[in-house]
Amino acid sequence: SQTIHQWPATLVQPVGSPLSLECTVEGTSNPNLYWYRQAAGRGLQLLFYSVGIGQISSEVPQNLSASRPQDRQFILSSKKLLLSDSGFYLCAWSVGTTTNEKLFFGSGTQLSVL
């Protein structure tokens, strides 16, 4: 069966420090991968998605970047965190050659930038 791993679960970082959140998927190949940020009252904001290795689509211009170095690995990064980067970050995956049929979500990372 397929599983998605996301870590760390919580993270407290000072302003200006770097960030690296990792997400890996097991039990499937060539998944579509996603990073969302969830904020109270604002739902899930799509940050990045990838339909293949090295292919990254950015949805919201901001202080973050994403990379997909391997088929089932998706990394969210920042060189210098801002206070506004605080939030709950969710990784998700789906399969589909022309569209998403269903998204499967990780357990999320609560990031606090102080």
Partner 1 sequence: AQSVSQHNHHVILSEAASLELGCNYSYGGTVNLFWYVQYPGQHLQLLLKYFSGDPLVKGIKGFEAEFIKSKFSFNLRKPSVQWSDTAEYFCAVTGGFKTIFGAGTRLFVKA
Q: Residues in the site for partner 1, rule: CB under 8 A?
A: 32, 34, 36, 41-46, 49, 51, 57, 59, 90, 94, 96, 98-103, 105-107
First CA to last CA distance, the chain: 38
Which residue, 11 or 46, has its beta carbon nearer to partner 1? 46
If you count them, how many residues does the chain have? Answer: 114
Provide, rounded to whole angstroms, the least separation between the CB of residue 102 and partner 1.
Answer: 5
Diameter over CA atoms, the chain: 41
Comparing CB distances to partner 1, the nearer of 81 and 111 is 111
Using the structure block, give the residue that is written with the tokens 């050659």. Answer: 97
Nearest CB to partner 1, comparing residues 49 and 89: 49
Q: In angstroms, give the least distance from the CB of 97 to partner 1.
A: 10
CA trace torsion 54, 57, 63, 65 (10° rounding): -20
Q: Quick one: 27 or 96, whose CB is closer to partner 1? A: 96
Name the token pair of 35. 């990073």
Please say whether the beta carbons of 74 and 49 come within 8 A: no
CB of 85 to partner 1, least distance (A): 19
**Minimum distance from residue 31 beta carbon to partner 1 (Å):** 11
